[in-house]
Amino acid sequence: GAAVGVSGQAFTILPKQTACYHCMFPSLDEESMPTCSIEGVHPPILSL
């Protein structure tokens, strides 16, 4: 899963049974993604 700012996502990845993170989001570029150190994380998001 992932969380940044006020949004987050959670999903289950089963090795060799389900798609990996990169398979699900192949166009994501790590350099252009927001980071927690820049955007922060809204604490209630982490408790979901």
Encode pLDDT of 7-43 as tens digits.
677 788 899 999 888 888 888 777 877 777 777 777 7
Report whether 5 contacts 42 (CB < 8 A): yes
Quote the CA–CA distance of 34 and 32 in Å, as a whole number. Answer: 7
Structural domain boundaries, residue 37: 2-46
pLDDT, residue 46, reads 65
Beta bridge partners of 4: 7
Domain count, the chain: 1
